[in-house]
A and B are shown apart, each in its own frame.
Chain A
Amino acid sequence: MFSFQVIIDNFPVLLWAARNTLLISVLGCLEGLILGAVICAAALSARPGLRRAAAIYVSFFRGVPLLIQLLVAYYLLPVIGLNVPALVAAVLTVGLCAAAYLSEVLRGSLNAIPKGQAEAALAIGMSPRNIWIRILLPQALKIGLPSIVNELILLVKASSLVTVVGIVEITRMSQSVAAATYRPLEIYLAAAFIYLAINLVIAQAGRALERRLTL
């Protein structure tokens, strides 16, 4: 029989574990945005070498499943003598992967900015770096907001994969609780609804932010 009592009893621990899910996805998204802006700048630069490097980066991180990337980070970092905590490694890897997608989002939004903006900034004597940081990037972030929110939702779901490197977030916690209570159906469904709730909140917040920015 389906038992709600099991869910009620174990809900607090699952919610507690949601902290790590949020931590990984939000930090991963921020890292992805910063790194993505750099990669996007490289992809649009005049130097062919930089453009090539950006293209390889994007195709690698979009082409290889995140699960494999996480395992590579998990096995490879100790081999090359870097002993970082698993949580740091996971956030870094998720962010590296997000950067590939977000750089493409930013590149798309930059195309939507009228050319006159950059030309006007150049005409009043702003440096290329300043034009990038003060004129282009803020507008690209605004135009790309729906896609960025979308990416954040994808990251919340992708963060379930970090259970393979032993970090206790919602999925990992629900695995242990399911093993302890012998009630996998209830526990995993509860976990699914927590993810759903997080994503609905993010989607709503994104829509509210969009409305504010487009006033």
Chain B
Amino acid sequence: MFEMLQHYGPDLLTGFGITLLSWTLGTVFGLALGFVIEIVRRFGPSLLGYPIRAYVEFIRGTPFLVQIFVLYYGGPLLGLRLDAMPAGILGLTIYGSAYFTEILRAGFDAVPKGQIEAARAIGFANMTIVRRIMVPIMMVSALPPMVNFAIILTKETVILSMITVPEIMFQTQTMMSETFAFFTPILILALFFWGFVELISRLGRRLERRFTYYLLDRS
């Protein structure tokens, strides 16, 4: 077992790195795209409402695996020729944006109308209202589902192994097929994901404390 770890150590480290990288980029870009979509839906022309709704329904109604197949194998037919890694990150971004957009919608809906009206009454511009009033209030209710979805995304990254992204699943599968060892690779995977998810939920709790700091009773 020790020898095997020594032999596959570098590959496994690369795998960890690529999983972390694709998760980070997928989450950050997905959140950014979801935010833009939600702002357009809220403040943009109402004509865009239907295409956005169709986009969200399509992404949420189809499996992630099929989406990256369309992107990676079908993309070249439309002139979109991507390597596995960029295709995977783009796939995660698109997938994440549909879910994040819905989470943000619910979060923004929960912002009391009076707050926005008051801000408008004292002459705030739309974007200032979003930045100074809506986002801070929305974070209180939307952060837990956002962290929740970020955790779901960690588990979606293993699907990238199906389009040959050399992430941790891909590396351990190679390890399994080359050594016929079964227990160690699975143990590595399980430990890695357990630690990864634990780390994210701790980070999430810390963020939550930051965003709800003003709600604490400090009397």
Contact = CB atoms under 8 A, between A and B. Distances in A.
B69 to A, nearest CB: 5
B65 A171 contact: yes
Interface residues of B, number: 32
A170 B62 CA distance: 11
A185 B197 CA distance: 34
Contacts of B159: 67, 161
B64 interface: yes
Contact of A185 (B62, B78, B189, B190): B78
B158 interface: yes
A174 B78 CA distance: 19
A174 B73 CA distance: 12
B186 A195 contact: no
B65 A79 contact: no
Interface string B72-115: 01110110000000000000000000000000000000000000
Contacts of A186: 74
Interface in A140-194: 153, 156-161, 163-164, 170-171, 174-175, 178, 183-186, 188-189, 191-193
B119 interface: no
B58 A196 contact: yes
A41 B176 CA distance: 38
B73 A75 contact: no
A63 B193 contact: yes
A183 B70 CA distance: 10
A200 B186 CA distance: 36
Nearest to B173: A71
Interface string A88-114: 000000000000000000000000000
Contacts of B58: 192, 196
Nearest to B65: A160
Contact of A184 (B62, B74, B186): B74
Contacts of B156: 65
A64 interface: yes
Given A75-B176, A196-B57, A188 B189 contact: no
Contacts of B66: 160, 170-171, 174, 188, 191-192, 195
Interface string A37-70: 0000000000000000000000000011111100
A76 interface: yes
A186 B78 CA distance: 11
B193 A64 contact: yes
B156 to A, nearest CB: 8
Contacts of B189: 64, 68
A63 B65 contact: no
B90 to A, nearest CB: 15
Contacts of B182: 75-76, 79
Listed residue (B66, B78, B156, B162) with the most chain A CB atoms within 10 angstroms of its CB: B66
A153 B57 CA distance: 12
B67 interface: yes
B202 interface: no
Given A67-B158, A160-B63, A171-B66, A185 B74 contact: yes
Interface in A4-59: none
A98 B90 CA distance: 28
B24 to A, nearest CB: 17
A98 B142 CA distance: 25
A72 interface: yes
13 contacts: A64-B190, A68-B158, A72-B186, A157-B62, A160-B66, A171-B66, A174-B69, A183-B77, A185-B70, A185-B73, A189-B74, A192-B58, A196-B61
Interface of B: 57-58, 61-67, 69-70, 73-75, 77-78, 155-156, 158-159, 161-162, 169, 173, 176, 182, 186, 189-190, 193-194, 197
The list of the 4 closest CB pairs from A to B, nearest first, reads A185-B74, A184-B73, A160-B63, A65-B155
